[in-house]
Structure 1
Amino acid sequence: MNFFERQLEVRRASARLVWLFALAVALIVAFVDLAVWVAFRLGHRPTGVAVRVLVAAGLLTVLVIGLTSWIRTLLLRRGGGGKVAVALGGVVVPPDTAAPGLRRLRNVVEEIAIASGMPVPQLYVLPHEPGINAFAAGWTPGNAAIVVTGGALARLNRDELQGVVAHEFSHIVNGDMRLNIRLMGVLTGIVGLAVLGRMLLSGRGSRRQAGPLVLPALVAVAAGYTGVLIGRLIKAGVSRQREFLADASAVQFTRQTAGLAGALKKIGGLPAGSRLHAAKAEDVSHMLFGEGRKSLSLFATHPPLERRIQLLDPAFDVRELDQLGTRWAALPPSGTDEDRALGLAGRAAPVAVPASVAAPPATVVASIGNPASGSFGHAGGLLRGIPEDVQAQARRAETVVPLVLGLLLSAQPHTRTAQYRLLAARLGAPLADAVWREGERLRALDPALRLPLTELAFPALSGRPAQELHAVQAVLYEVVRLDGNVDTFEYCLSTLLARDLHEAVHHRPPWPVRRIALPQAAPAITALFAVVAAAGHREQAAAAAAFRAGLSRVVLVATVPFQPPAQAWQALDGVWPVLDGLAGPDKALVVEGLTTVIGNDGVVGVAESELLRTVCGMLHCPLPPLMTVAVSHQPLPPRA
């Protein structure tokens, strides 16, 4: 199952959730009406009166459930994954942490993010949870958070931790994360009647006031707990299959099963298992890596642990868990000790081998949301190519803005001076000075490392105040287009950065989301292919041939004349809202066609590679860095 098929399955799951919610509301309304019928003896009342009372009770029930679900979903959406993490006692992992366990976690997360073409999420730890567990929360990848328990950090070796984190990344990539947030909002509404009933009972005051309130309160509590049972059934039905899929996706991410299987075995063999003690653990039970609370199999949010292990390790014998439990009772496992014994401590990833051969279009499409074999090694090589002090700046909130804007300063002295003046006028002279210093130094950075550096910087950047982010977003395009001569990298970085910042602040794309059929998108596809063909081929004939080859791949008329827009980059700004509205299979065709355009001459340069990744990013199709370009590890000049 590829990325687009997984996205389609999530949409189907969302549709099922809507129907299940409607069914749950209908059952609760029926229960309330039945209780009202009996309590108020409506069978002895006139038919008109009975009908009005039942309709009023039903409407009030629907209003309470619907309003509660809507408010809860809105709050979760605005708060992002960090709000869910903090509610469970999560503590943010400092970007410059020196603690070995936290540093290892951050390294693993950053490698997986860069290898999968995703922004680096916020990181949280539940330090007082001894069980092995984790979850991803958020509305979009731009406000996602990955949360890991202290038990996972202490007990898992690096490969096992990588498997768990890859499992959570798959929830982000596949769209499960948004589905889980919706599920939290829906379930809050379903159980809201129980909360309302308890409030009425606890606040009813004196005995004289109790009469009018006790009966409605008891009905609300009874209906609410009926909703609790229904809600748990919904959680179980929606989440179980998603966990199987996330396990399979994690194996695709890491290209090995031993790490994920080892983590599951430790859950089964250690007394703490995957249990969470936080009071609100039930709210996120469907989001967790492992079962957070013991429950009946009917209400279990996860498949049986033994079954998950057997799918990863067919030779696994259930009795192995008892043997591991006996051994670990005397000496619990230590992840860092295992790292040293297995040679995983401080492991350096290999650097990508220089190559210039274009990947087949089908291979590129298959790699969307599925990092290829060697992607993690390549991501490690990219990270090691970025000087440590630059990485430290990218992770710190106080230095990240000058760093990112410094990447956009022109190499031409007169343009760079004009950019400085613009920044000083818009953002202040002190910040403009800092941007100037960073721009001077970062000109020596390998172009292949610039987009990975912005992905690394995203958590610190998105954590800045919303007012500052609006100011940065507003000035991005002006800085890049000040001289009217925009190069490919400047366009890619500014476009992706502006989109990510918008989604981090507003939790939605910068354009209205609407479905577009492939024939309707033909003008946008033609413009995109023409711009990319002209940017990647010096000869007019070669560019025209690449353009026609790409159109043929998308099953569009290849006789469309090759006419690149006069204002190439401005033309692309109008392409994104159209192409992002295509269905998954149509997006796959566009990516195949674009890959054909870029690779028609058999060579993919850094600029073309980053342009392809930018297009995929704007279409919300995360593409891993292409391993077709050598990475320079030359040191940068010392900071002034």
Structure 2
Amino acid sequence: MNLFERQEAVRRRSRRLFMLFALAVLGIVAAVNLVVWLSLAYIGAASFATIGQVMAMTTIGTLLLIGGASFYRTMTLRKGGGAVAMALGGTPVPVDTHDPGLRRLLNVVEEMAIASGSALPQVFVLEDEPRINAFAAGFGGPDAAIAVTRGALDRLNRQELQGVVAHEIGHILNADIRLNLRLVGLLFGITMLGVVGRFLVSTRNRDGKREAGGLIPLGLALMALGAIGLWFARLIKAGISRQREYLADASALQYTRDPEGLVGAFLKIAGVPGQGRMLAPEAEEISHMLFEDGLGFSGWMATHPPLLDRIRAIRPGFKPEKFNEALSRQQLAAPSGLDEDHAKAMVEPPPLPPEATSIRVSPGAVAEGLGGWRPDDVQRAQAVIAAIPGVLDRAARDREEAMPLLFGLLFSAEPTVQKKQRFELKARMGERMTGQSADYAERVHGLHAALRLPLAMLALATLKRRSKTDVAAVADVCTALSHADGRITLLEYGLAQLLHAELQASADPATAWRQPRVKLADVEADVVQLLAVLAHAGHAQPAEAQRAFMAGMPHVLPQSSARYAPPAQGVAVLDDAWPRLDALLPKAKLMLVEALVATAAHDGRMTIPEAELLRIVCAILHAPLPAALEPVRAA
């Protein structure tokens, strides 16, 4: 199952969620009406007409309460994953932290994100949670957040933390996190009767005494009815999320090729008193989002499979005796993850390959590998992070320096083009910012091609912590710099387009998700233009560009009679095409990615710079390519 098929499966589950929600609402309405009917019968209501009117009003009132509560909660979640993490007491991890535990967590998240080709998620620590757990939240890559508990940070070693983070990034790439947020919003409505009931029971008068009269009996009745809603909510969460956890475990195993990391994390959870249970009262609401069950339920109500079952799923030969040993260690001193790391010899990552290294690729294999990664990709990500010069790494993590660094990455190496870009930036941001950006441009133009996009993503993660006004201004500047001159390269233009899209989605997280609804026949002209621009960018000779174009077309539009023509308007011809191409149906987008790979490597090979250009184009289309694409071999 490829990335788009996994995302489509989540969308089908989303439709199933609405059906289950509707059934739950009908069940609650029926229960409320039954209570009202029994009450009316007890007090001797005069006529069926009176009973019918009261029950009709009750039905309308119940539906309005449930619908209004669900709508309200859904709107409060539009702020994205970071807001969810902070609502649970999460503390943002500073990108320039020097704390060893936090630095290790950031490094693991950065490695996993770079390895998968996805955007860097925000990172949080739940300081008040002593047990081992984690979750991912958000609408999509640009606003995604990963939060780990203090217990996980202290007790897991790097290998185990890597398994947990890979599991959560699997949820992000598979689009589980948006489904999970929808679940939170909808289920809040069907538990609202209980909330109202508790409010009525606890209502006090001016003297601080509980109100007498009908409020307490009514509140108790609503609490009983709310218990029905809570039962439905837990049942729906269990039915929706349990299989997703198995899939995320399998994804983490596929990504790391290391079952010991996940198994070690599960055994440590089993060896902690209370296991993964959360202390925050909001744990009930987000239990289906957690790495491990945060409430301690079992059977039908459990949102997660049993730990032993999850271990056996990824390591079939596992002996139950080892799990029992973990349980027996609950009374022993908690392990220290950092101490375990210090006892292990850390392997240095291999150096980055020369830019001229030829990568052998096949369009089908690359397309099938979208949204996943292998140990080779993790090693490449580690090599990328190690190769970034210290001064640029510090700048990317500095709140003030990240902005000019980002603009410097967008400056063209062509003096005439850069002059126009400087003029544009000076008019928008002033002379000081223009000078700083030009200084960084000199530093980054000699960088290895594989470092530019990861460095931009690091700076972007820092900028996302600024105000929405600042984020919107940076997004506009990115667009302006990419249109300052018609001779801008596809690499510079594509990087600016990607940064603009990421910043916009960060400022308004609820817009980060596009429902696929466009067929290839509807965007044939856009596809032809994209392949023509890519072929033109990679080949100076028109004949070579034409061969590259013709190599890509059969993968996406085999019946088309379109012919290669150099883009007369330059790369700006794609401005209006991106949203339509991004909304392609899953199978169509997979075909488009295959065509892009075939165009970029029409002879079956591509250099590192060509691979990075392809990575940027695919990232704009939300088709993340893994860091190494395929095993690298020298030409």
TM-score of the superposition, structure 2-length normalised? 0.94
Q: Is residue 2:13 matched to residue 1:13?
A: yes
**Structure 1 residues 131-150: Cα deviation after superposition (integer angstroms, max 9, x where no partner):** 11111111221111111111
Q: Is the 8 A contact 1:522 1:556 kept in 2?
A: no
Paired residue type of 1:323: E
Name the structure 2 match of 1:231. Answer: 233
Q: CA deviation at 1:261?
A: 1.0
Alpha-carbon contact 1:119-1:455 (below 8 Å) kept: yes
Paired residues of 2:130 and 2:151 also in contact (CA < 8 A): yes
* Matching residue within 518, 533, 537 for 1:535: 537
RMSD over equivalenced CA pairs, Å: 2.4
**After the TM superposition, which of the residue ranges 390-399 and 213-222 deviates more from structure 2?**
213-222
- Code of the residue aligned with 1:58 in structure 2: it is T
Q: Name the amino acid aligned to 1:540.
A: P
Match of 2:176 in 1: 176
Kindly indicate whether the alpha-carbon contact (under 8 Å) linking 1:351 and 1:380 is maintained by their aligned counterparts in 2.
no
Within 5 Å, which residues of 2 pair with 1:495-506? 495-506=497-508
Aligned match of 1:410 = 412
C-alpha deviation, 1:108, in angstroms: 0.5
Q: Is the 8 A contact 2:142 2:512 kept in 1?
A: no
> Could you list the per-position Cα deviations for residues 25-80 of structure 1 after superposition, in whole angstroms to 9, with x for gaps in the alignment?
110111111111111239844333322221211111111111111111111122x2
Mapped partners of 1:589, 1:456: distance in 2: 30
Q: 1:538-553 counterparts in 2 under 5 A?
A: 538-553=540-555
- Measure, in 1, the Cα distance between the counterparts of 2:335 and 2:258: 21
Return the alpha-carbon distance in structure 2 between the equivalents of residues 305 and 511 of structure 1. 32
Bigger mean CA deviation after superposition, 573-582 or 233-242: 573-582
Residues 331-370 of structure 1: pairs in structure 2 closer than 5 A: 331-344=333-346, 347-354=347-354, 355-370=357-372
Pick closer, same or farther for the CA change 1:514–1:52 going to 2, 3 Å.
farther
Extract unaligned runs of 5+ from structure 2.
none
Moved more, 560-569 or 329-338: 329-338
Question: Alpha carbons of 1:312 and 1:126: their partners in 2 closer, same or farther (altered >3 Å)?
Answer: same
Partner residue in 2 for 1:116: 116
Give the aligned residue type for 1:85: A
Distance 1:526 1:511, change over 3 A: farther
Counterpart of 1:442 (choices 441, 444, 452) is: 444
| Residue of structure 2 aligned with 1:284, choices 286, 294, 303 | 286
CA offset at residue 231 of structure 1?
0.5
Residue 352 (structure 1) shift? 4.2
What letter matches 2:275 in structure 1? G
- Residue number in structure 1 paired with 2:69: 68
Residue 295 (structure 2) aligns with: 293
Q: Please name the residue that 1:249 is paired with.
A: 251
C-alpha separation in 1, matches of 2:210 and 2:244:
52
What corresponds to 2:401 in structure 1?
Answer: 399
Q: How far apart are 1:210 and its partner, in Å?
A: 4.8
Look up the match of 1:185.
Answer: 185
Residues 433-481 of structure 1: per-residue CA shift (max 9 Å, x gap): 3222222322222232111111122221111111111111112222222
Question: Partner amino acid for 1:52?
Answer: Q
Structure 1 residue corresponding to 2:615, chosen from 594, 613, 628: 613
Tell me the distance in 1 between the aligned counterparts of 2:305 and 2:155.
22
CA distance in 2, matches of 1:568, 1:43: 81
Q: Report if the CA contact (8 A) 1:350-1:381 is conserved.
A: yes
Question: Is the alpha carbon distance of 1:629 and 1:404 closer, same or farther for their aligned partners in structure 2, counting shifts above 3 Å?
Answer: farther
Equivalent-residue separation in structure 2 for 1:452 and 1:273 (angstroms): 36
Equivalenced residues, count: 628
Which of 486, 489, 504 aligns to 1:487? It is 489
How far 1:269 moved relative to its partner? 2.3
Give the drift of 1:399.
Answer: 1.5
2:126 — aligned with what? 126
Q: Which range moves more in the overlay, 622-631 or 516-525?
A: 622-631
Return the letter of the residue paired with 2:345. G
Change (3 A) 1:31 1:542: same
| Aligned-partner SS, 2:318 | coil
Aligned-pair distance for 1:326? Answer: 4.2
**Separation of aligned partners in 2, 1:208 and 1:116:** 57
Structure 1 residue identity aligned to 2:35:
A
Shift of 1:559: 2.9
Secondary structure, aligned partner of 2:359: coil
- Tell whether the 8 Å contact from 1:351 to 1:377 is kept in structure 2 after alignment: no
Question: Residue 47 of structure 2 aligns with which residue?
Answer: 46
Structure 2 counterparts to residues 549-568 of structure 1, below 5 A: 549-568=551-570
SS at match of 1:407: helix
Identify the residue that residue 276 of structure 2 maps to in structure 1: 274
* Shift, 1:388, TM fit: 1.9
Relative to structure 1, is the Cα distance of residues 541 and 437 closer, same or farther in structure 2, using a 3 angstrom cutoff? closer
Aligned AA for 1:238?
I
Give the aligned partner of residue 154 of structure 1: 154
